[in-house]
Amino acid sequence: MFPNMLLKYFADKAIFKQKVKVLSRNNFVVKGVVNFMSCDDHQCVPPTDVDFEFSVKGNPGAIEPVAIKPVPGSVNATTADSVKSAALDVARADSGAKKIEQDKLSKTDADKAADQSLLWFFLISFVAGLAAIITPCVFPMIPMTVTFFMHDTTSKRKARLEALVYGLSIIVIYTVIGTLVAVTLGANFANFLSTHWIPNVFFFLIFMVFAASFLGMFEITLPSWIVNKADKQADKGGYSGAFFMAFTLVLVSFSCTGPIVGAILVKSAGGALVMPIIGMLGFSLAFALPFGLFAFFPSWLSGLPKSGGWLNSVKVVLGFLELALGLKFLSIADQTYHWHILDREVYLAFWIVIFFLMGMYLLGKLKFNHDSDQPYISVPRITLAIIVFSFVVYMIPGMWGAPLKALSGYLPPATYQDFDMNAIVQKEVGAINAGGGGSQPGSSLCDKPAYADFLKLPHGLEGYFNYRQALACAKKQNKPVFIDFTGHGCVNCREMEANVWSDPKVLKLMRENFIVTALYVDDKTELPEKEWITSKYDKKVKKTIGKIYADLQISRFNVNSQPYYVLLDTSGNLLTSPKAYDLNIDAFVKFLETGVENFNKQQK
């Protein structure tokens, strides 16, 4: 949770010594409790208490006997070994039901994926900060604000220091926002934001409002008293004035940066504490960069392009992007609650039309309020138009089931498509390969999967969506279980399915060697009361499919991120180290092959 912390740890044996002054002539016994948890590079067992006691000889030279409260004694090696032995016994008992050989498991791919995810999220946020600079609310303020710091011609050094404070203040203000979101709201609220229909529909409406504003329907501004109050403080000058100048910029630029900042905070709402902080740090660093550089090198200001109609064109293009990206929030709510309002082909139809209209705008065929007359089309505009129309052409085959791997993380899954030519072809090929002469082959499953009427597996795979049902079938067929902890709103899950699961070798291994099981941790379907469970992790009653399997993932594997892939034997024991998001096909094949190999060894 807090990377790069310097921690002290012990391996094999730990001996703790403490000098004590014995004030009693009598012998006595020290009793206490050791609270510990055992960890390897993969995971930790829950904290456990172990009682201990040892004898201490009295001090003949003590003046008088006194009542001695139990205090930490000088623990010899034997006592330490006994404590360690007792601790290990408790640890084994606690993890015995799981039977996870933790000392043999290497560091999980989840940790590596988390580090990579943070790096990519920082870079994406940094690019978003650069994009925010060229919005109409921000770009014209660069020469205005930099000139503000150049007013004191008697001390260029002081002006530059104030400009540095100004740039750092922008970073601090935005980063504090991210920190407050991370600390005050937390992972549970983040999960609520990510999957519940209320926040997702709200975000969808917000994006639509901003899109309408960007397209020129109306202007979004904060109440004037807020901006005026910050501006009044900025007029005082000095370092405090530089801070309030930065605060004024944040407020004034809200109508343009609000959607970008909001998207970063919503994107970070996956349960990780540091992601909002990392995201806002990357955004604010890029956002503050030009102000700091132009303040230090004011001669660069003469090279800036003048404000004009091109800035409104940027705003309109951002409006089209807001329309397209806002649909993602509605899509998540649609999937988690199974409304089927925005199935894949409907979603694609909206995107195709939106980006087609964007291309027409870039060619000058559409004109919005505040647009300047375009006597000719510039080379940058025609270049962007070519890119946009090429993107539209790329999306069109998706209406008939083309996988569109480049967009797999942003589109509803192919299982949400009514007409999928690719699935039809796969089914026919499977029938022919099964020797049915075109008839449908029989199912390889033991019984009808629960929830199969609204949950599907990609690429024509057969499998289960219920853990107990899958484990029962695994025992019956003597096959290992492939568990996919996934979610309707999981972008990385869709990318893995489109780019890794689609590989013929991966599909063959999954079809022939495993009982495939997809456990949706964000599905909102409420189960009958007899299927409710009380969590051993947080003692709360879990009533929905998503909460039950999210609890299973956390309590069993100490992980709450998706995708997360686990291979189990017929008794539910791990066959190999679980795997997280990784687009390396060879690594995923190796992961599956290792599971099969270990399962076969176990059978022998």
- Tell me, what's the pLDDT at 140? 55
Q: Where is pLDDT greater, at 319 or 73?
A: 319
Greatest mean pLDDT among 362-371, 428-437, 573-582 lies in 573-582
Short-list 335, 338, 325, 291, CA closest to 144: 291
Please spell the DSSP secondary structure of 537-565, one letter per residue. Answer: TT--EE-BHHHHHHHHHHHHHS---SSEE
Averaged pLDDT, 114-128: 76
Q: Are 260 and 131 in contact (CB under 8 A)?
A: yes
Label residue 407 by pLDDT band (50, 70, 90): confident
Distances (CA, A) of 491 to 8, 145, 344, 498: 36, 39, 15, 11
Strand bridging mode 515-520 / 481-486: parallel
pLDDT of residue 212: 87
Domains of the chain, each with CATH number or no CATH = 28-104 (no CATH), 114-312 (no CATH), 343-436 (no CATH), 449-454+461-603 (3.40.30.10)
Q: How far apart are CA 255 and CA 220, in angstroms?
A: 6
486: β partners: 520
Is residue 83 pLDDT above 80, yes or no?
no
Tokens of 397: 């085959």
Supply 194's token pair: 């990510």
Average pLDDT over residues 92-109: 41
Between 208 and 14, residue with greater pLDDT: 208
Residue 254 has pLDDT above 70, yes or no: no
Tokens 């100490």 identify what position? 558
3 state DSSP class of 394: helix
Q: Which of 53-57, 292-296, 497-501 has the lowest mean pLDDT?
A: 292-296
E strand or H helix that includes residue 83: helix 77-96
Q: How many residues does the chain have?
A: 604
Residue 317 to residues 91, 133, 203, Cα–Cα distance (Å): 58, 15, 20
Q: Which residues, other chains included, contact 316 with Cβ-Cβ below 8 Å and sequence gap of 6+?
A: 214, 215, 216, 361, 368, 371
Residue 50, pLDDT above cutoff 80: no
Strand partners, 534: 541
Question: Of 177-191, 464-478, 525-539, where does mean pLDDT reach its minimum?
Answer: 177-191
CA pair distance 287, 284, nearest whole angstrom:
5
> Mean pLDDT throughout 163-175?
81
**Collapsing DSSP states into helix, strand and coil, what is residue 49?**
strand
- Tell whether pTM > 0.75: no
Confidence of residue 68 (pLDDT cuts 50, 70, 90): very low
Question: How far is the C-alpha of 455 from the C-alpha of 238, rounded, in Å?
Answer: 61
- Span 542-550, average pLDDT: 92
* Bridge partner residues of 464 (DSSP): 517
Per-residue model confidence as pLDDT tens digits over 289-318: 877 677 666 666 555 565 556 667 877 887
Given a cut of 70, whether residue 365 has pLDDT beyond it is: yes
Which of 251-265, 311-325, 431-445, 469-483 tops mean pLDDT?
469-483
